[in-house]
Amino acid sequence: MEKLKKRWNITNNWQLIVILVVFAITGSTSAKFAAPATDAIGMTREMGWYLYWPTRILIIFPLYQVLLVFFGWLFGEYHFFWNFEKKMLRHLGLSFIVKE
């Protein structure tokens, strides 16, 4: 845990626990919202896994990014998650989305 705290530049165990809880809630929530979203656009599993799962992942990805910052803000760790988000977008080559 100390290695993770050092890497993320956080100071105490409570902050680490909050951050891990936010990651867990965000992942669960975005996965839960993906099913109604795929239903809304008319995607079903009967269309084949090769269409259904890539579409579902494309829906989950931006939803996860937004929810991560939202839940981070809700739990008082907005700055950590906003910086985390900017770093992730830069690694994906999408730095044009976030202007500093």
pLDDT of residue 64: 92
For the stretch 35-93, pLDDT in tens is 888 888 888 888 888 888 898 888 888 899 999 999 999 999 999 999 998 888 888 87
CA angle 14, 20, 24 (to 5 degrees): 140
- pTM listed for this prediction: 0.81
**pLDDT of 7-27, one tens digit each?**
888 888 999 999 999 999 999
Single-letter code of the amino acid located at 13:
N
Instruction: Tell me how far the alpha carbon of residue 17 is from its chain's centroid.
Output: 17
Look up the domain containing 24 and give its range. Answer: 2-97
What does the DSSP assignment read for 25-69?
Answer: HHHHHHHHHHHHHHHHTT--GGG-HHHHHHHHHHHHHHHHHHHHH
**Please, how many CA atoms are within 13 Å of residue 88, restricted to the half-sphere of its CB?**
13
The total number of structural domains that make up the chain? 1
